[in-house]
């Protein structure tokens, strides 16, 4: 019987989370720009330590969950790549789409920014899960 290797899920998830974190920082600071960052901080007032902890924890958590989903899906989809894409799309649908809709409802994402953020995050999640899943190896028992 093949069992999910928790150590490898965590390793791959941390790698995926790191990719998601870097991509999110690039999106917020370089693509959306300083105006978005200022509006975000005004809408969600937190200390810098709280904000960093929240965002780092959330992104690493997303990575671990997505790599776990990919590992669980692998026997059904047959390949690492296919299961990583499905897990990445699932993460995007369940986490990023609602988050983007919330930011749009708070007027933090305007018109074209909303569509661009959704497209960016879809590519981000699929790529991050594919990279993180490449670190995963199953345990045989």
Q: Which domain holds residue 65?
A: 2-136
121 located within any domain: yes
Distance of CA 38 to the CA centre of its chain: 22
Long-range contacts, 89-93 (Cβ 8 Å, 24+): 89/122, 89/125, 89/126, 90/66, 91/62, 91/65, 91/66, 91/125, 91/129, 92/121, 92/122, 92/125, 92/126
pLDDT of amino acid 44: 87
Token pair in block for residue 15: 């790698």
119 located within any domain: yes
pLDDT of amino acid 141: 60
24 located within any domain: yes
Q: How many domains does the chain have?
A: 1
124 located within any domain: yes
| Contacts of residue 17, Cβ cutoff 8 Å, sequence gap at least 6 | 59, 60, 61, 62, 63, 64, 128, 132
pTM: 0.90
Successive 10-residue mean pLDDT values, the chain, 141 residues? 86 97 94 89 88 92 96 87 94 95 90 93 97 86 60
141 located within any domain: no
């Amino acid at each position: 019987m093949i069992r999910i290797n928790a150590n490898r899920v965590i390793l791959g998830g941390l790698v995926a989370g790191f990719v998601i974190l870097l991509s999110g920082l690039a999106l917020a600071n370089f693509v959306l720009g300083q105006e978005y960052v200022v509006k975000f901080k005004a809408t969600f007032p937190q200390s810098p330590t709280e904000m960093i902890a929240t965002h780092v924890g959330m992104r690493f958590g997303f990575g671990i969950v997505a790599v776990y989903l990919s590992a669980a899906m692998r026997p059904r989809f047959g390949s690492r790549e296919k299961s990583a894409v499905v897990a990445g799309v699932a993460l995007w649908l369940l986490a990023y789409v609602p988050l983007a809709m919330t930011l749009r409802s708070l007027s933090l994402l305007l018109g074209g920014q909303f569509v661009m953020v959704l497209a960016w995050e879809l590519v981000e999640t699929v790529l991050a899960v594919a990279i993180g899943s490449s670190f995963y190896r199953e345990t045989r028992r």
